[in-house]
Structure 1
Amino acid sequence: MFTGIIEATGVLKELTLKGGDLALRVQSHNLDMSDVQLGDSIATNGVCLTVVAKHSDGFSADVSNETLGLTRFSQYQKGQKVNLEKALQATSRLGGHLVSGHVDGIAEIVSSNSNGRATEYWLQAPENLMKYIPYKGSVAIDGISLTVNAVEKNRFKLTIVPHTAQETTIADFKVGTKVNLEVDQISRYLERLIQGQSSAASESTLTTGLLAKAGFIK
């Protein structure tokens, strides 16, 4: 479990096809590895990866075909800059929101403009995920916890302050950039709870009326 508060950035130093999937090495001179053990989880551009080898300047991990099919890792190249966050500890501040590191889909930046010292980005997301992206809700973009400031059809807007841009990969974002998207976990679990096991395989029927009937809203 993570918070979406990025601790450091790193680069992909090695990408090796291995046994049909991918092995990689991440280098970061800013991520504190002193308390990292083999088997620990580190979110890498929003993807929960397991440390299989520890180095003085980073770590190695494996990426399964399942992960390659759902994330941007299949398009990453050597030298790719990535956001890094170690797993949440029980004593840590929850500065962002609960992030699982399980990417739901890919979003694409379709426009950007300045607003004071901040930058506003509009992103297009898969239609089936937009129901989980409410106004003033939380999303994780390449592992970064961000607040949704507007929603229109299959697009949503993010407002990025200078500090966030400086401490993450957002400074490299531009129109056409595709990013890993994880929606808020609460909305997904809430939908599953209301649907019940009898409709687990059916299309989502989550509506405001159903939420009201279940007592979640008035």
Structure 2
Amino acid sequence: MFTGLVEEKGLVRSFVKGGPSGFLTIEARRVLEGLEEGDSIAVNGVCLTVTGFDSCAFTVDVMAETLEKTNIGLLAPGAVVNLERALKIGGRLGGHFVTGHVDATGAILSSRPRGIAVELWIKAPPEVESFLVPQGSVALDGVSLTVADLKPGAFMVSLIPHTREKTTLGSKRVGDLLNIEADIMGKYISYLLMRRGIGQSERITPEFLAEHGFI
């Protein structure tokens, strides 16, 4: 489990692909502190298991499903990625619960400055659209963000200067693919509603939740 608060940006040293899987080595500093084999690290929001490390880099195995479902397969040596270690029991939860299991990828549709922020409109694939709610949480490339606006097939987030500086989102451009993980609470609520016979196609809104007794 993660929080969506990126600890540092890492640099891809190598990505060796063999058949449907591969081995990814990333140079880092902070996430190496106290690291052990078998630990989990979120790389661009994807939970991956450490299989080896040295004083300045770590290696993870990347399975076929990860390559197919996320933007990890697009990485090449020299690429910069977001890194976060798994949440420790008793640690502060400054973002929201992020599992590291990406639901889909979505392309950046537009990017425009507004005051000190930058507004990004992201394509919302069907796998995540029904889980998005205004002012709800969403993880983009492992970064915990708030859904600022919604329209059919797309949603908007606002990036403050700190987020643009400390994560890879500040360097993203229109057309780039981002890993999207919907808020796990929305997934549980959707599952419960489906068990009650309420269709997933109905958008989850604060009014909808109140009507059905969730808030």
Asked if residue 42 in structure 1 is aligned to residue 41 in structure 2, the reply is yes
Shift of residue 90, structure 1, vs aligned partner: 1.1
1:11 counterpart residue number: 11
CA contact (8 A) 1:23 1:61 kept: yes
CA contact (8 A) 2:141 2:178 kept: yes
Asked if residue 103 in structure 1 is aligned to residue 99 in structure 2, the reply is no
CA distance in 2, matches of 1:102, 1:32: 19
Among 200, 204, 211, the residue aligned to 1:204: 200
CA contact (8 A) 1:135 1:148 kept: yes
Residue deviations 1:176-201, cap 9 Å, x none? 111100000001112223323x98xx
Residue type at the aligned position of 1:169: T
CA distance in 2, matches of 1:46, 1:207: 25
Helix, strand or coil: the match of 1:175? coil
Shift of residue 32, structure 1, vs aligned partner: 3.9
CA contact (8 A) 1:191 1:206 kept: no
Shift of residue 212, structure 1, vs aligned partner: 5.8
CA RMSD of aligned residues (A): 2.1
Aligned residue pairs, count: 213
Shift of residue 63, structure 1, vs aligned partner: 0.6
Residue deviations 1:31-87, cap 9 Å, x none? 241211110000000000000002111210001001111101122211111000000
Structure 1 residues 91, 212: CA separation in 2 closer, same or farther (over 3 Å shift)? closer
CA distance in 2, matches of 1:164, 1:207: 28
In structure 2, list runs of 5 or more residues that go unmatched. Answer: none
What does 1:32-111 align with in structure 2 at a 5 Å threshold? Answer: 32-111=31-110
Helix, strand or coil: the match of 1:108? strand
CA contact (8 A) 1:46 1:144 kept: yes
Helix, strand or coil: the match of 1:100? coil
CA distance in 2, matches of 1:216, 1:6: 31
Q: Which aligned runs of 4 or more in structure 1 are off by greater than 2 angstroms?
A: 193-196, 203-215
CA distance in 2, matches of 1:210, 1:94: 27
Structure 1 residues 212, 117: CA separation in 2 closer, same or farther (over 3 Å shift)? closer
Query: TM-score under structure 2 normalisation?
Result: 0.91
Asked if residue 115 in structure 1 is aligned to residue 114 in structure 2, the reply is yes
Residue deviations 1:139-171, cap 9 Å, x none? 000000001100011111111111111001012
Residue deviations 1:67-116, cap 9 Å, x none? 11110112221111100000001121100000000000001111111111
Between the aligned residues of both structures, percent identity stands at 39
1:157 counterpart residue number: 156
Helix, strand or coil: the match of 2:73? helix
CA contact (8 A) 1:195 1:205 kept: no
CA contact (8 A) 1:109 1:122 kept: yes
Structure 1 residues 214, 22: CA separation in 2 closer, same or farther (over 3 Å shift)? same
Residue type at the aligned position of 1:147: T
Query: TM-score under structure 1 normalisation?
Result: 0.90
CA contact (8 A) 2:108 2:173 kept: yes
CA distance in 2, matches of 1:211, 1:53: 45
1:169 counterpart residue number: 168
In structure 1, list runs of 5 or more residues that go unmatched. Answer: none
